[in-house]
Amino acid sequence: MKVLITGAFGNIGLSALEELLKAGHEVTCFDLPTKANLRVYRKLKGRVRVVWGDLRKLEDVLVAVENQDVVVHLAFIIPKISRTGIDCNEKPKIAEEVNVGGTSKLLQAMRMQPVPPRIIFTSSLYVYGDTHYLPPPRRVEDPPRPVEHYSRHKLACEEMVKNSGLTWSIFRLAAALPISLRLDPGMFDVPLWNRMEFVHTKDVGLAIARGVSSEEIWGKILHIGGGPSCQLYYREILEGVLGSLGIAPLPESAFTEEPFATDWLDSSESQRILNFQTRTFADYIRDMHKAFGFRRYLIKAFSPIVRQYLLSRSPYYRLKRQGKAWEGKVALVTGASRGIGRAIALKLAQAGLKVVLVSRSEEALDSLKEEIQRKGGQAFSFPCDLTKEEERIRLFLWVEEKFQGVDVLINNAGFGWYGYLKDMSWDLTKEMIELNATCPVHLIKLFLPGMRNRSRGYVINISSIASEIPSQGVAIYAATKSFLSTLSSALHRELKGWVTVSSIKLGAVDTEFFEHSPGEANLIIPGKVFPLSPEKVAFKVWELLNRPRREIYFPRWLRVIPVLEFTFGWLFDALGPALLRRQIPRSARSSKTP
């Protein structure tokens, strides 16, 4: 039988490939031509047909799908570690293009064949969401409740597959841990008491290989788990792996307290049909030892150092140790309804601070407040328009009455506009100056006396690298951020020993900042390539609170920008107008001032 595997050189793909070849099938692999994938292909050369391509390109997929009997669709961008280098939850738009858009292209290509092939789509138990308040196991008929981008993408693809008109089967996989030496940063995102069903990646490959030849799987959703002997708690899995390497158990404080979307599964139906459960968790440990080789003995010899290194990689361990000093303190975050402000509010609430959420959008603030409270934090929403002086005073009086002041003030609210200054209305110009510059000054003036009287207080102003390199197209925005940076530095020196004032100068951040800019008008906005995630910015703000400095650049390499501006400012002067003209469409260039 001719079988196509998408994402063939990944964790599950290689196991499926091995079992399909053992069963005598003719296999075509479809994947990206990365260095890692090319290395794997060289080992398999002559045994498989390979089509290198992008799942998002119909022409590539058509070449791969031609004359196939069955398609095993594995290719997907996942959270945390991905061979593409993309994190599904940090880059949801790109991930959706690949995961949902790519699956749509694949189904389209399959329907275009004279004899459409069948499809096995590998989904995940993540689609059930948090189910730890329910008795196990999870059954196929349980309602899906996806809680993040990856599981939403999986569920969307399931629906597309079921409605495609093709012959299909959906495999919802349990936790198929990779046999790898890489440290997954997500290992700390699961509480130790979390239920988790393990399934050996080779058993998943066996299930896929037997499913290809089965007539009983089609039109069914099947659970692919390790079975009752592999229904464990995360503590058992982690301590089994680390303990076999001589590393003492990690403390519970190194792990999140939020439930993770894994559970035990009822896989009796799939086991009856496919008879694939041949390996246990002990087999996985033995395979891990083989992968480590002689390095296993080095790890055992230096196990205290390795353990300390692992703890250093846990954001929760650092957070809980640092957070004790912050429990019960009050933080006010402006622009908290989305993007950077939202991420900062979540981080501070997680650390035990009472967070006052400020923004125009009452609905968005209430949603964020509910999310924080659901996670055990304390949040208070105060919708108001910070461009109005009377609203800022109303906010101050409310906070003073309720909390007798704030301990932390995060001046984050602001917006940008890109284009010629002549095309920017005066009302919009005044609004930007009011929100980006006047508002932070006024809030600092209002809350500063209370902070100074208590001899404690922290002000962090969210600035931008635009303050250091005033560029064409962002004249007013750059000016307001330059003002904010200068104000921060001056107050840091003026209030030293009483109140700490800091600024963080950011590069491009992956938010809706410019999407909501009235001046975008189909412009090619600079700085959208490789943007920072709001969560990374929030963590940097948390670090700045615990290790105060006058100013920081994030990412660090931005520190070279002032030097470049000083050295090559003449070049920017010469090229600036030309670059801006190239980015503004001809129709926009000829438009008149509103």
For 566-585, the three-class secondary structure string (H helix, E strand, C coil) is HHHHHHHHHHHHHHHHHHCC
The CA distance from 141 to 130, in Å, is 16
What average pLDDT does the segment 573-578 reach? Answer: 62
Lowest mean pLDDT: which of 144-153, 163-172, 265-274? 144-153
The full length of the chain comes to: 594
What average pLDDT does the segment 24-39 reach? Answer: 92
Q: Which pLDDT belongs to residue 289?
A: 85
Helices 362-374, 339-350: axis angle to 10 degrees equals 30
* Cross-strand partners of 114: none
Q: Tokens 């003719």 label which residue?
A: 26
Q: Which pLDDT belongs to residue 560?
A: 76
In sequence order, which residues have a C-beta less than 8 Å from that of residue 588 and are 6 or more positions away? Answer: 419, 423, 521, 522, 523
Question: Between the ranges 169-173, 339-343, 452-456, where is the mean pLDDT highest?
Answer: 169-173
Query: Which position has the higher pLDDT, 525 or 148?
Result: 148
Confidence grade of residue 519 (pLDDT, cut at 50, 70, 90): very low
Q: Is the pLDDT of residue 236 over 60?
A: yes
What average pLDDT does the segment 360-366 reach? Answer: 91
Annotated active-site residue in 420, 458, 477, 553? 477
What average pLDDT does the segment 295-320 reach? Answer: 82
What average pLDDT does the segment 14-25 reach? Answer: 95
Confidence grade of residue 83 (pLDDT, cut at 50, 70, 90): very low
Q: Which pLDDT belongs to residue 440?
A: 96
Q: Which pLDDT belongs to residue 349?
A: 92
Pick from 402, 415, 526, 530: nearest CA to 476: 415
Phi, psi at residue 249, to the nearest 5°?
-55, 145
The CA distance from 535 to 330, in Å, is 20
Q: Which pLDDT belongs to residue 526?
A: 45
- Name the superfamily (CATH) of residues 324-589: NAD(P)-binding Rossmann-like Domain (3.40.50.720)
Q: Which pLDDT belongs to residue 167?
A: 97
Q: Is the pLDDT of residue 111 over 90?
A: yes
Q: Is the pLDDT of residue 233 over 90?
A: yes
Neighbours of 425 (CB within 10 A): 13
What average pLDDT does the segment 205-218 reach? Answer: 96
Residue 316 annotated to the active site: no
On whether the CB atoms of residues 74 and 5 are closer than 8 A, the answer is: yes
What average pLDDT does the segment 402-428 reach? Answer: 90
Q: Is the pLDDT of residue 549 over 60?
A: yes
The CA distance from 300 to 306, in Å, is 9
* Cα Rg of the chain (Å, integer): 27
In sequence order, which residues have a C-beta less than 8 Å from that of residue 235 and are 6 or more positions away? Answer: 192, 193, 249
What does the angle CA 234 – CA 235 – CA 237 come to, to the nearest 5 degrees? 65
CA distances for 453 relative to 42, 74, 144, 498, 499, angstroms: 70, 61, 53, 9, 10
Tokens of 43: 């080992």
Q: Top-level CATH class of 2-182+195-232+260-292?
A: alpha beta
Handedness of CA 382, 544, 549, 472 (dihedral sign): negative
Tokens of 379: 């949040």
Pick from 147, 148, 145, 172: nearest CA to 158: 172
The CA distance from 414 to 340, in Å, is 11
Helix, strand, coil percentages in the chain from 3-state DSSP, rounded to 5: 50, 15, 35
| CATH 3.40.50.720 boundaries in the chain | 2-182+195-232+260-292, 324-589
On whether the CB atoms of residues 51 and 30 are closer than 8 A, the answer is: yes
Neighbours of 216 (CB within 10 A): 13
Q: Which pLDDT belongs to residue 21?
A: 95
Confidence grade of residue 109 (pLDDT, cut at 50, 70, 90): very high
What does the angle CA 126 – CA 179 – CA 297 come to, to the nearest 5 degrees? 135
